[in-house]
Structure 1
Amino acid sequence: MSARVVHFELPYDDGERAQKFYSEAFGWSLMPMPEMEYTVVTTGPVTQDGRPTEPGYVNGGLLPRPAAAPGTVVVVDVDDIDATLVAVERAGGSTVAGRRAVGDMGFTAYVEDSEGNVVGLWQTAAG
């Protein structure tokens, strides 16, 4: 398991306002995905398939509050979401939102750690 932070998610109350803010304040590229109520955030240069081309930064997304968490979420890459959900429970955490497919890209889930923080999980689809 890599367990690296690979993504972030920032919740919003007003999507247009949030998009305007992050675009103007930081120059981030934004790609709204209305069918998913999600906006993909690109914080640096990427390949054609959206992977960062420079080390040291991650991309993210904007989503309506409280889709999964009321605050900022870091997303951790895992090999097996189901096994990680079991490990989280054993370590004293809990599942906030179970495994869910994200198109054909992979799967996501959200957990709460022992301190009440919500952490996202990401499992890339096999293929």
Structure 2
Amino acid sequence: MEFNPVTWFEIYVDDINRAAHFYQQVFNSRLEPLGDPSDQSMIMMGFPSEMTKYGASGALVQMEGVPAGGNSTMVYFGCEDCAQEQSRIEGAGGKVFKPKFSIGEYGFIALVIDTEGNMIGLHSQN
């Protein structure tokens, strides 16, 4: 494979506004509407992206027939120090499932649950 295998992610949510507020507060960034605004059967809020930089971007998605939570896919967000983002989880309405811990030479991770019941990972080298 000549490229990284993951190029996009979607986190399904039940309340797009509540979920967007959570992610914007935790990561200190703005999400932007994506897709066709007249199609209310699928509402998307995209994470910031820069196509010339490393890593994949993605979106929060509220879609009829696709409930949030209970999935078996883990999305990890890159951080300078995942303890910083972890410290904002509860104030944003989420829960810390497993606080920052070492994964050896690969750095550190924290596992958290967003306002929609989705577990996500926070990863940093420090």
TM bucket normalised to smaller:
0.3 to 0.5
Relative to the length of structure 2, the TM-score reads 0.45
Structure with greater strand share of residues = 1
TM normalised by structure 1 equals 0.44
